């Protein structure tokens, strides 16, 4: 483990470094890069890094709420799974990464934070096109918590459009590897904006609903929940909804969800680490059922945030 990583609660937190003034705007936060903790401004990667040039990277995001990480172990599982599948290595084990994340949050002082761990392929000293010659690069950061849906949208429900753009198929990239291949999602977003919606869902390679930019989707019909099974990231909040449904006695399955089925649902909601369980009340300009947030969605929203106080699902940050 790097000597710059302090064990939580046992040693003083390491100092921050700060460098030149940048004309761009950065959120208030703390990053870990190349063995040191930095303010967000000087946390940079090379323009020759494969993560920048080729989107050759994997990452995971976890949030802190009321001073505690939520389901951090599951996020670490997915991150290290992505590293293995992409044949990347970092100089830290799970404990080391967890300590870095805790330190980033503690140094930032944020009680509610969006926290990311990531690894890029890195750069080759000779600018080789052989990925085996690149030096993999780990970094992490903590910035203020942000949500896919803002406060108004959480109150009245999101307005979503279904784009005809197709998600990158699993045969091309395993969706379980969280990655930065977002051009299909970004094109879907612009389709949604052009149609007066606030965010988008795109399709899988069979023409069924897949997912949106940074979130999974659920629909409720006759009290039963379903969520797309193919070609989607198996989100941690998605899994949390399954766990909550099991505890609440609600039926939930992963299966193909057609466009018509989603549009005819009694309730629709999306799930993300950035926001939790978030209601959808309009799809393609038409109201979902009566256009109001449904009882199942409200129940799961409440249960989700209640679980943040469960010590089995959360781990406190040790602030200085």
Q: Is residue 104 within 8 Å of residue 14, measured between CB atoms?
A: no
pLDDT of residue 19: 57
pLDDT of residue 11: 67
**pLDDT by 10s per residue, the chain, length 320:** 343 444 455 567 877 765 555 666 778 999 999 999 999 988 999 999 999 999 999 999 999 999 999 999 999 999 999 999 999 999 999 999 999 999 999 999 999 999 999 999 999 989 889 999 999 999 999 999 999 999 999 999 999 999 999 999 999 999 999 999 999 999 999 999 999 999 999 999 999 999 999 999 999 999 999 999 999 999 999 999 999 999 999 999 999 999 999 999 999 999 999 999 999 999 999 999 999 999 999 999 999 999 999 999 999 999 98
Residues pairing with 62 in the sheet: 115
CATH code 3.20.10.10 for 151-308? yes
Domain residue extents for the chain: 16-146, 151-308
pLDDT of residue 160: 98
The token pair that represents 268 in the structure block: 């629709």
**How far apart (Å, rounded) are the C-alpha atoms in residues 100 and 108?**
12
Angle at 66 between CA 32 and CA 42, to 5 degrees: 20
For residue 129, give the 3-state DSSP assignment.
coil
CATH code 3.30.470.10 for 16-146? yes
Residues in CB range of 185: below 8 A, 6 or more apart: 165, 167, 200, 202, 212, 213, 214
**How far apart (Å, rounded) are the C-alpha atoms in residues 113 and 240?**
19
The neighbour count for residue 22, using CB atoms within 10 Å, is 11
Strand runs (DSSP E) across the chain, as ranges?
16-17, 30-33, 36-39, 57-65, 68-70, 113-123, 135-144, 158-166, 199-203, 216-221, 224-227, 252-254, 267-272, 276-283, 286-287, 314-316
Ramachandran angles phi, psi of 305, nearest 5°? -75, -30
């Amino acid at each position: 483990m790097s000597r710059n990583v302090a064990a939580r609660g046992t040693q003083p937190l390491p100092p921050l470094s700060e460098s030149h003034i940048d004309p761009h705007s950065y959120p208030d936060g703390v990053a870990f890069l190349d063995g040191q903790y930095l303010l967000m401004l000087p946390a940079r990667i090379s323009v020759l890094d494969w993560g920048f040039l080729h989107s050759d990277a994997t990452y995971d995001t976890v949030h802190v709420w009321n001073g505690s990480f939520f389901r951090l172990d599951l996020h670490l599982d997915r991150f290290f799974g992505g590293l293995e599948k992409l044949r990347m290595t970092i100089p830290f084990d799970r404990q080391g990464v967890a300590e870095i994340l805790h330190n980033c949050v503690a140094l930032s002082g944020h009680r509610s934070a969006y926290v990311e761990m990531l690894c890029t392929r890195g750069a080759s000293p000779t600018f080789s096109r052989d990925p085996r010659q690149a030096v993999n690069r780990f970094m992490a950061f903590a910035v203020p918590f942000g949500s896919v849906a803002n406060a108004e949208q959480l109150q009245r429900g999101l307005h979503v459009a279904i784009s005809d753009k197709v998600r990158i198929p699993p045969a091309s990239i395993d969706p379980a590897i969280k990655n930065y291949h977002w051009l299909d999602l970004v094109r879907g977003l612009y389709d949604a904006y052009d149609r007066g919606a606030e965010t988008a869902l795109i399709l899988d390679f069979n023409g069924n609903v897949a997912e949106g930019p940074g979130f999974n989707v659920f629909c409720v019909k006759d009290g039963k929940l379903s969520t797309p099974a193919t070609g989607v990231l198996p989100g941690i909040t998605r899994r949390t909804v399954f766990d909550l449904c099991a505890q609440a006695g609600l039926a939930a399955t992963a299966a193909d969800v057609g466009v018509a089925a989603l549009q005819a649902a009694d309730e629709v909601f999306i799930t993300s680490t950035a926001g939790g369980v978030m209601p959808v009340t309009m799809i393609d300009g038409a109201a979902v059922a009566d256009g109001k947030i449904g009882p199942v969605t409200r129940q799961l929203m409440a249960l989700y945030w209640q679980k943040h106080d469960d010590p089995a699902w959360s781990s406190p940050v040790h602030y200085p």
